Amino acid sequence: MIDELRDRARAVGERAEPLLAPLDEDKAARRALDLLAEAELVGWTVPERHGGAAKGDLAADDQVSVRALCALRDELAWHSGMLDVMFVMQGLGSYPLVLGGSDELCGAVLPDVARGRQVAAFAVTEPGAGSSLAEANLRAVEKDGRWRLNGTKTFISNAGIAGFYSVLARTSGEPGDGGKGSLTMFYVPATTQGLEVKRFEVMAPHPIGEVVFNDVEVPDAYRLGEVGNGLSIALGTLSRFRTSVAAAANGFARRALDESVAHLESRRQFGKPLSAFQGLRFDLAEMDARLRAAQLLTDEAANALDAGETATAEVARAKLTATETASWICDRAVQHKGGLGVKRGEVVERLFRDVRALRIYEGTSEVQKLILAKDVLERARDKAERESD
Ligand SMILES: Cc1cc2nc3c(=O)[nH]c(=O)nc-3n(C[C@H](O)[C@H](O)[C@H](O)COP(=O)(O)OP(=O)(O)OC[C@H]3O[C@@H](n4cnc5c(N)ncnc54)[C@H](O)[C@@H]3O)c2cc1C
């Protein structure tokens, strides 16, 4: 099934590349989602029980398959960063409903997400709360069965084109209290009065912006999970989808390596193809070996998650290694193309910009290192304790 999914993603990618390139950001985003929906790939971001694709042996009917997400993102990213981001945001934005939404809310929203008819967004980052999500301070106050939200979210993918936002809000306490018991998630339709979007641009095409909440009111039925359980829903969503960031990085890196090989074989300098020079051959060998290591770590994390393990260290290792490796590989590919490497419109110039944000979103490389270091120390201490018994 995974091979078939890869073939389908490749077919969409081949169609999408020339179609999306001339479009402006929002038109490209919508067209990308339409192409994914026509190919019935969006359903892989939503559990089967909620209207998503039937996942066979890959996942239980209340789950998304991380192996499938990874296979699809790897192929989509090879072709287009926009295709990749529009695919995964449907899952990231809607998974808080899977984890905490009522049956009624899930039934009303998720089948449309799975068909690409409703665009999803995940709104947790704030100007004052990035890596430290527990410091979120967008306030939600309850009165007579309705919640009133005030505050600002920033760096929200799909801001302005989303049909709804899954929003992490503070329902008690103060930033710095650790967030447990004091944050709650809400489903907020984009058309709700008081919600304002301020778009900005990042270095690669990506619909993104700030979302300001001015007395935005939602009914209690739009609360996702128990009051105070928001941080766990936000982190649960991220832990399901983070491994797929590694897979997207692998897709960008694979494309960069393909571009390097093609160029070094065809471009001649000093009377020979560039691929004849040992310095450049060593680069190709190192790009290949490091990419393969990243792919294996990604597979390890995806397999563990699909087997029901928490896999915290495996996921952090995969995300850290794959995104850092892909950045390095895309940089080498730019170097191999010489002046063409920085010329607008060249594939490697685009890859160099596309890949950069992956080291930042869904937990920066430094945050992944903090997670891994904690695991390394815990394992060492456990071992020392066992040996002293
Ligand atoms: C393209 C893009 C799309 C995004 N999409 C979304 C989205 O859809 N929804 C959403 O909610 N957010 C989104 N984000 C936000 C993203 O998740 C945050 O940018 C990220 O979590 C980092 O937060 P920050 O930018 O506030 O950086 P900060 O947390 O301020 O970090 C700044 C730097 O300090 C480092 N740092 C922080 N703390 C430590 C520490 N304890 N030890 C060592 N180093 C540390 C970081 O690693 C980083 O290098 C997106 C970001 C980008 C770039």
pLDDT value of position 173: 94
Which numbered atom of ligand 1 lies nearest the CA of 121?
A: 8
Extract the runs of DSSP E, i.e. beta strands, from the chain: 120-123, 139-143, 146-157, 164-170, 183-189, 195-199, 208-219, 223-224, 268-269, 272-273
Q: Is 248 in the pocket of ligand 1 (CB under 6 A)?
A: no
Name the closest-CA residue to atom 42, ligand 1: 366
CB-side neighbour CA atoms (13 Å) of 321: 22
Query: Cα 158 vs. chain centroid, distance in angstroms?
Result: 12
Which numbered atom of ligand 1 lies nearest the CA of 133?
A: 21
DSSP conformation class of 12 = H
pLDDT value of position 53: 93
Token couple for 36: 């994914």
Q: Cβ(170)–Cβ(139) under 8 Å?
A: yes
Q: Is 360 in the pocket of ligand 1 (CB under 6 A)?
A: yes
Q: How far apart are CA 277 and CA 138, in angstroms?
A: 57
Q: How confident is the model at residue 118 (pLDDT cuts 50, 70, 90)?
A: very high
Alpha-carbon distances of 214 from 96, 194, 240, 374, rounded to whole Å: 22, 5, 31, 39
Question: What are the residue ranges spanned by the domains of the chain?
Answer: 2-118, 121-226, 232-380
Average pLDDT, the chain: 96
Q: Cβ(83)–Cβ(116) under 8 Å?
A: no
Has residue 269 got a pLDDT over 90? yes
pLDDT tens-place string over residues 121-166 = 999 999 999 999 999 999 999 999 999 999 999 999 999 999 999 9
pLDDT value of position 180: 86
Return the axis-axis angle of helices 81-100 and 230-266, rounded to nearest 10°: 160
Quote the percentage of the chain above a pLDDT of 70. Answer: 100
Q: How far apart are CA 97 and CA 122, in angstroms?
A: 11
Q: How confident is the model at residue 389 (pLDDT cuts 50, 70, 90)?
A: confident
- Give bridge partners of residue 343 from the DSSP assignment: none
DSSP conformation class of 275 = G
**Taking the chain, what is the end-to-end CA distance rounded to the nearest angstrom?**
48
Query: Cα 357 vs. chain centroid, distance in angstroms?
Result: 10
pLDDT tens-place string over residues 224-261 = 999 999 999 999 999 999 999 999 999 999 999 999 99
Residue written as tokens 């304790």? 385
Has residue 97 got a pLDDT over 90? yes
Report the residue among 356, 361, 362 best suited for mutation to probe ligand 1: largest number of ligand atoms under 8 A from its CB: 361
Q: Is 77 in the pocket of ligand 1 (CB under 6 A)?
A: no
Has residue 288 got a pLDDT over 90? yes
Q: Give the dihedral sign, CA 130/224/53/26.
A: negative
pLDDT tens-place string over residues 18-65 = 999 899 999 999 999 999 999 999 999 999 999 999 889 999 999 999
pLDDT tens-place string over residues 308-363 = 999 999 999 999 999 999 999 999 999 999 999 999 999 999 999 999 999 999 99
Token couple for 63: 């789950």
Q: How far apart are CA 50 and CA 68, in angstroms?
A: 17
pLDDT value of position 179: 78
Q: How far apart are CA 190 and CA 187, in angstroms?
A: 10
Q: How far apart are CA 238 and CA 16, in angstroms?
A: 27
pLDDT value of position 302: 97
Q: How far apart are CA 253 and CA 275, in angstroms?
A: 19
Q: How confident is the model at residue 177 (pLDDT cuts 50, 70, 90)?
A: confident
Report the residue among 85, 131, 231 best suited for mutation to probe ligand 1: largest number of ligand atoms under 8 A from its CB: 131
pTM: 0.97
Centroid of ligand 1 to alpha carbon of 364 (angstroms): 6
CB-side neighbour CA atoms (13 Å) of 71: 18
- CATH class of the domain whose range is 2-118: mainly alpha
Residue written as tokens 């992956």? 358
DSSP conformation class of 311 = -
- CATH class of the domain whose range is 232-380: mainly alpha
Architecture of the domain made up of 121-226: Beta Barrel (2.40)
CB-side neighbour CA atoms (13 Å) of 287: 28
Q: How far apart are CA 323 and CA 73, in angstroms?
A: 13
Task: Lowest mean pLDDT of 176-180, 210-214, 264-268, name the range.
Answer: 176-180
- Give bridge partners of residue 148 from the DSSP assignment: 141, 217
Q: Are strands 268-269 and 139-143 parallel, antiparallel or unpaired?
A: unpaired
- From 185, 194, 190, select the one nearest 159 (Cα to Cα): 190
Q: What are phi and psi of 142, to 5 degrees?
A: -95, 135
Token couple for 6: 């890869």
